[in-house]
Structure 1
Amino acid sequence: MVDLPTHTIVFEILTRLPAKDVGRSKSVCKQWYALLSTQDFVRIHCSRSVVSSNQRVLLIDDLTCSVRPIISNNNDYGPSSIVTFPFHHQNNDVSILSHLNGLLCVCLNHTYELLLWNPTTTAFKRLSTPDSHGFYINNLDAIGLYVDADDDYKVLHIKRRSGVVGSFADPMSHSEEILD
């Protein structure tokens, strides 16, 4: 019997699994955890999830949030999976400001707090701090997500206050918790 190289298992087989199964696979061993946490793995996994059979739509209603598969032959949605908001929110009070590789930057409209949220795993990270850093003001601010030259996820928060524009690139330490 021939053993498959770990690289083949990780990059040819595991990149084709649903995100929840990839998260579970991280507990197999330390080596798999490290390989499944790399930016290369995330990029390949995301590119393979673009296949039409893997396409999903996130629907946010007044009281619920659901994920539904897209049925490509008739542009309809399949049965939904309910996703609960892991953070406190009020009815219809969450705005999606930006997205990248399945991550969402959302604003809780009643507090103006910014959060980075992975709806697949329900993990989230608060980007706002008690010293008013990271709070979002509608019609004055803009938010973007990007990957920098070191393959780290970043949040770009552009603020306009009294005619002055400032931009802040927030490093997302512990982003692996959001991606899992």
Structure 2
Amino acid sequence: MADLPVHTIVFEILTRVPAEDVGRSKSVCKQWYALLSTQDFVRIHCSRSLVSSNQRVLLIDDLTCSVHPIIFQSNDYGPSSIVTFPFHHQNNDVSILSHLNGLLCVCLNHTYELLLWNPTTTAFKHLSTPDSHGFYINNLDAIGLYVDADDDYKVLHIKRRSGVLGVYVYSREVDSWRNIPFITRQEYLSPHFNWPAGTFCGGTLYFTVCECWIGGMNVVICFDVNSEQFKEISFPPVPST
């Protein structure tokens, strides 16, 4: 029997196996590592995993992190499996800020440090630097996790500090932060506006920025991940009730 082409093995077979096996397969050779790291492979693998038997819920409590399969027939959870934190943490210390393709951006609440963490492979990366990048403050900052056209996983960090807004992008490929410009209305710097985590869809991160007051302003801030340009679009009409 003729040998199967590498492309067939990677995109027809390995896109159907569990993520743990994909991680181990990356060590076969440089060609496999390159193909298994592309966004095309990730997209196909995720689409083939999106069946009811593969759905999981990750829960973090004071002491442990556990994964629960979802049983849709009974609207219940199956037996859990424990995920060990590979990084130092304290009780009730880890907050999930954003997620994409199984990769999580989390914050250690006692140090304010940001981390990238893959619970499946247990790999993680500290994003904090000596020059104060990679530190997150709840209710002031916003986080968005995305992939650009070059298949580089990135973190967008919007920081509000004493009326000053700074926007920073972390690249996993080059392992560094850089500042990018953000022209916006001055009132969005106020703590009266809430910035939730960004939602990544179709090459754009979307932030639904809402004023805390009843009947206050609502707006959607869009970030094009390839041009790194921001724009503002109107919020859908909200009934007065």
TM class, shorter-length? 0.7 to 0.9
SS in 1 for 2:139: coil
Residue ranges of structure 1 left out of the alignment (5+ in a row) = 169-180
Aligned-residue CA RMSD in angstroms?
A: 2.7
Segment drifting more, 27-36 vs 133-142? 27-36
Aligned mates of 1:129, 1:50 — CA distance in 2: 36
Q: How many residues align?
A: 168
Q: Post-superposition, which runs of at least 4 consecutive aligned residues in structure 1 deviate over 4 A?
A: none
Residue 137 of structure 1 aligns to a residue in which SS? Answer: coil
Return the TM-score normalized by structure 2. 0.66
Q: Which residue of 2 aligns with 1:116?
A: 116
User: Greater CA deviation, 142-151 or 23-32?
Assistant: 23-32
Deviates more, 1:106-115 or 1:144-153: 144-153
Structure 2 unaligned spans of 5+: 167-233, 236-241
Greater relative contact order structure (CA < 8 Å, 6+ sep): 1
Structure 2 CA distance for aligned equivalents of residues 143 and 34 of structure 1: 28
Shift of 1:70: 1.1
Q: Secondary structure at the match of 1:63?
A: coil
Query: What CA distance in whole angstroms lies between the structure 2 residues aligned with 1:37 and 1:133?
Result: 26
- Structure 1 distance, partners of 2:114, 2:101, is 18
Q: Is 1:10 aligned with 2:3? A: no
- Maintained 8 Å contact 2:38/2:151: no
1:110-139 C-alpha deviation (Å, 9 max, x unpaired):
000000110111110011112211111111
Output one character per residue of 1:44-100: Cα deviation in whole Å (capped at 9) or x when no partner. 111211111111110111101011111121121111111111111100111111111
Higher helix share: 1
TM-score (structure 1 length as normaliser): 0.87
Displacement after TM superposition at 1:4 (Å)? 2.2
What are the equivalent positions in structure 2 for 1:1-180 lying under 5 Å apart?
1-166=1-166
TM-superposed deviation, 1:28: 2.5
Q: Deviations over 1:29-50 (max 9, x none)?
A: 3322222122211111112111
| C-alpha distance in structure 1 between counterparts of 2:27 and 2:98, whole Å | 30
Partner SS state of residue 132, structure 2: coil
Identity score, percent: 93
Inter-CA distance 28–149: structure 2 relative to 1 (3 Å threshold): closer
Partner SS state of residue 35, structure 1: helix
Q: Secondary structure at the match of 1:46?
A: helix
Following superposition, the deviation at residue 3 of structure 1 comes to: 2.8
Is the 2:26–2:33 Cα contact (8 Å) retained in structure 1?
yes
Instruction: Give SS of 1:62's match.
Output: coil
Residue 2 of structure 1: how far off its partner (Å)? 3.4
Distance of aligned partners of 1:18 and 1:127 in 2 relative to their CA distance in 1, 3 Å threshold: same
Q: Which deviates more from structure 2 when the two are superposed, residues 62-71 or residues 33-42?
A: 33-42
